[in-house]
Structure 1
Amino acid sequence: MIRAILRWILAVFYFAAGVVHLIKPAPFLTITPDWVPAPEAVVLLTGVAEILGAIGLVQPFSARLRQAAGWGLALYALCVWPANINHLLMDMGRADGGLGLAYHVPRMFAQPVIIWLAWWVSRPNETAREA
């Protein structure tokens, strides 16, 4: 039961984040590392990936699709971690400290938890029994 609840919470979080990526990409563009090619397209595609992953997590038809969505979101969270690190470094380089360590340190620790959570809530042996 807890796994299903957390799966829905994670799906809502990712769906909302995906929508924000699509309708307000500017904040994400500012933290995208310089080495990322075509940052505008990448930010838009990450929004689409978040939305599709969220839908995949909660669709009731296939435990395999839920698992694929979970793995996809886990890999997604791993791939965007450099942008979070870049944001931390950019803020720490600012005279005013930007959002500060009180924002960035929990965010850095949350990223591996989000990666694990996406994998855990989508495990097929558990989701199949819960569905």
Structure 2
Amino acid sequence: MSDFSKSLAVSASGLRAQATRLRHVSENISNADTPGYRRKTVPFETAKGDDGDMVRTGHVRLDRTQLARIYDPSHPMADASGNYEGSNVDLMIEIADAREAQRSYEANLKMFDQTRQMSSGLMDLLRK
């Protein structure tokens, strides 16, 4: 397989991994106010392939930090003391993760586009 194909495959694996990460970050943000919701995290792993080292996502993990205790006696999930468990999603962390994933996605997209342009330029040179 050519170096161009390998480069495209590596950047495509990065695009898929960051897209998965963005999907889980958006799920976390949308469920920030859901009682009992635990934040999801996605680890990245190295995958050996024909095209070299690729990146892939591992199994989704639930953040095991303690859930927030919220006092609201009128809430249907409140216990006898008037408390219920909220989520452990911190919006500032999720926004930072989303920004990092977006920038990583854009970097992989730029690499994909640069490789495509180089390949196209090489084909133009070979035709002359």
TM bucket, shorter chain: 0.3 to 0.5
Which one has a larger percent helix, Structure 1 or Structure 2? 1
CA radius of gyration, larger in: 2
TM-score scaled by length of structure 1: 0.36
